[in-house]
Homo-oligomer: A and B are copies of this chain.
Amino acid sequence: MPKASTGKPTIVDVAEKAGVSRATASRALSNYGRINAATQLHVRRVAEELGYRPNEVAKAMRRGKTKTIGLVIVADFTNAFFDRATKGVVDAARELGYQVLITNTNEDLAAERSAIITLIEKQVDGLIVVPAATAIPDHLTPDQLDNKPIVFIDRRIDGLQVTSITTEDFQGAEEAVRHVLSLGHKRLGFLIAASGVAGFTQERPPLLLSTVEDRINGFAKAASDGGIKPKMQTWLYCEDLPSASEAAVMRLLDQPKPPSVILTSNNDMALAVLKVAGNRQLTIGKDISLVTIDDSQWLEAMSPGITVVARPVEELSRIAVEKLVANIEEPGQPEEQIALPVELVARGSVANLILRPELWME
């Protein structure tokens, strides 16, 4: 009497029914070691017939590899980064035979820490992280990471020897400023998203994400290179919250001599500019100009389209996955800091003050 084949068929059931040993069945199905072609075919047929599905957990257990990578990301609604990066990572991973375990930190260090612990416990083979920290955190040590490879995306943590895939934010910011200067703008407003501040402030906060830091430096460099005096620049560092950013925009506009253009460090800030402009019946690209960072279909579809620094987020994600998988499958790859080029996409949101000087009141 055959054993009660209760539940899902395992490889034992297949082996039994095919009249071979577990080992042979395994070889036949997973295609390794020495196996007679006829036997293999037979086993596979039997497996098919039985509706056998391998148990990947058992495989992972035995092999010490889960074929899974962990994604630790900050999910943010407007920031197009989240969905584009997630999609990029998931698709690239699948192509390389990996699945993605996704976790979300709300830009919160404690959440990031616990997410990473969970992922490590789940035995992911590697991690892709958008690090929330700016200083070197203690949960990213090789020990805590179980010596699993890790790749940062979007942000570096300077001083930490970790592969990171970012974009040329400094150059992008520079280019944005050069663009507005070339159109005759002379009074510039900068609206910078900064975690750690409440509301908004003119003082530059000490700790900023590398991405933000780069953008600030790029903005500042190009402004200075363009001969824009500090008093012609207004810098506002702002909590990443609609209420705060809208208040900051109003402050910008309510100065005695308001800027003719606002450059924002991310799309949350751009959104605030759009809203306040809408409320005040100001026309973008005429009454007030706007440049932001990170493209989106919406920014393109608006009238006028918003001029942006477009970042190759999908490509960034792909590369991150490729680097990670390379390091998983052949450990000991050198760390790299890769920054992908960005592109200024000029649309109609920046007024041409040279052709139409009437738009600019000194």
Q: Contact residues of A with B, CB < 8 Å?
A: 8, 51, 53-58, 60-61, 66, 68, 75, 77-78, 82-84, 86-87, 90-91, 94, 99-104, 117-123, 143, 146, 271, 274-275, 277-278, 283-284, 296-305
A244 to B123, CA, bound (A): 45
Number of this chain's copies in the assembly equals: 2
**CB-CB < 8 A to A61: which residues of B?**
57-58, 61
**CB-CB < 8 A to A284: which residues of B?**
303
Closest to A279 in B: B303
**CB-CB < 8 A to A118: which residues of B?**
99
Contact of A301 among B60, B143, B271 (CB under 8 A): B271
Closest to A274 in B: B301
Closest to A147 in B: B8
**CB-CB < 8 A to A66: which residues of B?**
57
- A126–chain B nearest beta-carbon distance, Å: 15
Contact of A298 among B86, B271, B277 (CB under 8 A): B271
A342 to B243, CA, bound (A): 25
- A102–chain B nearest beta-carbon distance, Å: 5
Q: A99-B122, A278-B301 are in contact. Are A104 and B90 (CB under 8 A)?
A: yes
Closest to A78 in B: B297
**CB-CB < 8 A to A100: which residues of B?**
101-103
Flag if B303 contacts A278 (CB, 8 Å).
yes
- A300–chain B nearest beta-carbon distance, Å: 7
